[in-house]
Structures are given as C-alpha cells and as structure tokens.
Structure 1
C-alpha cells in the first residue's frame, strides 16, 4: 500500500478509502513537548479507533529501548494519560472564556463542548453520549475535578481502543497478558504475533506456502505435493514449524486479522457484501467487494450508500429472499445483498 507522508498507510479498496495511521515516537510527557511532542498526539485527531500495539514480552521499555522484565501495563497507562492530558490542557487553557461565552449565549452544555471538541473529530451526538452517564451541575459551576471527569469520558468515547498484545509467543508474555486482561477487562484485547504474520506473508508471496489469512491454515509443498509451491530448505522448514507450533496451533492465528476485526467491532461497523448473483458465491473474487456500515443501518440506507440514486426494482438477501428497505443490517443478518436495478412494480 502507498504511504502518505502526512498520514500513514493508505489502503486502496475497490471503492472508498481506508487509512492506517502509524503513530510512532510517542513517549511519556509528549503533551509537555517531550519526544516529538504534540505533533503525534495531533495525528490522533483523524482516527476513528486506536490500536495500541503493546509489547507483552517486556523486552521494550516506555522509551522504546531494549530491556528485560519491563511491565507493559505501564505503556497502556501512560498512553491513555497522555491523550487525556493533551485534551484537558487544551480545554483548561481557555476554560474561563469558554464559561463566559457559554453563559452569554445561553448555549446548551453539548453545544458548548462540541464547539471545543470539534477539532478532535467529534460530533454533538458523541459529546452527548460521553456526558450522558455523568451527574453534572450546570457547566458554569463545574469544578476542576468535574471538568477532568468530562474530558476522561469524552476521551474514552472518542478514541475507542483495541489492545494488540504483541509477541504473544515470548516466554514472559503469559504473566503480562494475564495482568493486562485483569486490569483492563473492559477494553477489547487481541493476542498477536506481528512478526509471524510478516514472515508467513513473505513466504506466501515468494511461493513457498499457501496461507489462509486470519486462520491457522498454513500449507507447504510437503502438505500439498501436487501444488506449484516451492520446496523449503531445512532452515526455512524449521522456522515454519516453529511458527506453526508456537503461534498458529497454540493461538489459532497470528491475531493480526482479528485486531482489524476488533477495531471494526468497537466502532460498531458491519461488513456488507454487495453481490451480482445472490445464488452463486463461487469464484476467486467472491466477496471481493465489501462496505463497512454502522450497526443499525437499514437495507434502504445501505442501498443508497452503495448504489446511489439508481432506481431499484428489488433487494434480495441470501437465498434470493426479497428484503424490505426498513429491515436492519447486522452481522450475519442482511449482510449479503443483491440490488436489482429497475422500476418497482
């Protein structure tokens, strides 16, 4: 995928655009200017969800330096704290004038906060959700503690996070994973081995293995003697066996695909597959087209998103069943759709 020097890795799906931001260089104290400072925190404004890659082997410290026995719980804590302090600092710097304007204009709490949080990519609905569970007095009476509560609630709502617990096959990983899952039970976490995924994909590209991404299925020439796969030398064969035993067979996958699925899940996105023939899902290009839509989207809304203003005679689901436009889309429910252009009878 091409790299945008200002953004990150830019995907090229059949329609639309997907971007993965690589926010490197973030260190404790970034909100005060340490490391690359607020530049990388500012990059987060464009993100819909965060994937925090945590080295659960304990062999990398908070500064990115090699070590042994480091507690990766620290990384999770300081990253969350940096984002919070960045937003809180920006808000508190102007809080006096914000309160005066709020009172003078008789604005609602949501409208006033949205005016301050819009630069982070928020919406009024998001702000309303963030403060809905907080018992707050009128905005002009908020204490510093209550303002901090609001910022924490907004940060959690605006930046839903998936923990990618990486290097899961390291000997020290188990104890660190257990601590993280216990401390952050309400945060979605996925065990990963990114280096294994890179290794396998490289071999697949070179023609040495056949790999079904997101699964434990990894075949070599020995497994598929009639295939066109290349023979592995002894060194590569041993590395493949190690990946199978330590990662794929033990955990079921490298976890990389599952992390992306988890990110879509925290955003409540449902993959919808528009097909030309609802009765035939065969062929190498099956389900090549995919559109991510918010959970709760109706079939009619999906049709307009995918087909635009083209008149439709009917919308069919799996098995050729006609679907009403007000039916709801969800995972494994109305997520395979065939749009029939034409005038309705």
Structure 2
C-alpha cells in the first residue's frame, strides 16, 4: 500500500467507509454501499466519481494541430474549440497504446486525457514524435477529475454552479471561473447516462466533492459500479478490452478512425485477425477476464476480456476476442474455472435505456 499514489480525495474515501483497492497504481475506492446499490443509483439519480487517477497533458504551440494529427487517430481538422473527441494512440503495428479524449481549448491548444496506468508511456511516445517547437506538459498531478453521472446530473451541476448549464451539448465543454478557480465542465462520461466531467485544480477538489456529496440526489460511486455501468453500455476498458496487440478495427471501433490523414499505426490497420464481440449469458454465473471462449464443437476460438453480472438487465454479459472467421457465429461456450456457460452473441449496447445523449431544455 505504501507504493500506491493517492488522489486529493483518498482520505475522504477512507473516512467515509469506502472499500479501497489498488487501481492503475492508485489507492482507489471500489465501493461504499455496494456495487449493485451504487450502479442502480447512477442509472436512476446521480453518482459522483473520483477519477483523479487519470492523466492530463497540455499541448500547445504554433502547428500543434498538424503535429498531433500525425500521432493520434482523432480527426483534429474538424475538432473546433469547445469540443472534444474520443480516439486512439497507436503503435507502429496499429495496436492500441491507449484510448484517450482530446479537448480543443483553442487554435493549436489542446488537453489530452489519458488512462492513469498509461500516463508515463503515453507522454514519452507523444513527446518523441512532436517537433521541439510544440510544448507538451504533464498537468496530471495538479489536476483533479470528478464525474457527475446519472439522469439527475444536470440538476446537480446547475445547483453546484448556481446557474443553468442546459446548453452544453454531448461531447462539448466550457471553461468557467464561476466558483473562483478555473474549471472545465465537459458533457461526457463512462456510464451511458447523462453526465458531466469536471477538471479542476487538485487543491479545490475536496471542497467541490463535499458540496456534491451533500446533495440529496447524489451518492459516491466506486470503481466496482463504474465497471458494471460501462460494461452494460459496451464501453471498453484499456488493459482488458483494448491493448497493444489489438487494433481499433479488431476492437469494433474502426468508426473512430479518420480516413484521410496519415498517422502512426495507420498502415497496420488492414489485417483483422480477431474481433471483439458482445455476449449475453443467462443467470448470474459470471465469466471472468481470460476465461476461454469455445465454439459449439468445443474448439477454442477466443478469450473473455470483460465479464460481469449486469444489474440493469438481471443477467450476465461479457466482451470477448474471438477469431475473425468465427465472429459471425450466433452462439458460443464460455469455459470458466467451475463450469461451461452458453453465450449468445448480441449487439451493443447491452443496456439500451441510457440517457447520455438525451436532449435537455
């Protein structure tokens, strides 16, 4: 435990009864009142999440857009200030070094939000491929990230800010100093529900978290429910569903790739050896990461990457890589440590009632 990093909110989590565990090198809350309780609260009201383990980089300088465009899969030509976009940082063979969101702050000025476990390698990779005139700065340690997610999250944000934020559209953001410090409010999230992500100075995180926590509509949510929420929507997790051995096309995310501009890894995207598929399993017996996926003949075709009981659906779901030639099969068998489970291939998202894209007045 002594080697784990902490967030500005770690002591609050401990003081308020959170079950803690290592995640991405940080001491993070897994649950408070229970995964299913927290999951359902986020789907129906609003959950608050400490996501301060994520990495943030600032990138600026004349020609920053063109330089970054050669490194990431995002189409920066159509990314205007005030908008953000999801995409990938690839290796030379097209494998995924990381998935990340890029925020366009102004012309030739960006913020990159990367996975905490990938922070160091991402920074080195990007830095090595930038011209010296472009300044890349790791601002992770001075930046906290708090997510407010759920159908009532807009009401919570409006009350926090004491003004209406109904105008903010999906994958749009604004910078505000309304609370006495600079904070980015972004209409994004990882749960499939209407949600907002707050990027703010680490020194102000506890104050804002405590204000959010006292709102009767909110509950603190741990990483356990965050995982079941994202899996029900089919959002991938880096290190499980995404990795350096698989390309975005193999992960079913080829639609995020820009078509015109050349970028690192683009040449390696042509071959698709495996495909990430969605599987539905009756009952509560949960497949786990690394469980084998078999054809009906008993032949192994792939491996489970993520699996869980889905509280919103009442049964288990999973993501798995299988051989590309087998990806169109309707049924599979999952071999767990104790038994074999029948699985049916389905389309994503598993849970279709999410409010993430809802229009707000």
Scaled by the length of structure 2, what TM-score is found?
A: 0.24
Q: RCO (CA 8 Å, sep 6+): is it higher in 1 or 2?
A: 2
More helix by share: 1
Relative to the length of structure 1, the TM-score reads: 0.25
Computing the radius of gyration over CA atoms, which structure comes out larger, 1 or 2?
Answer: 1
Q: Which has the higher strand share?
A: 2
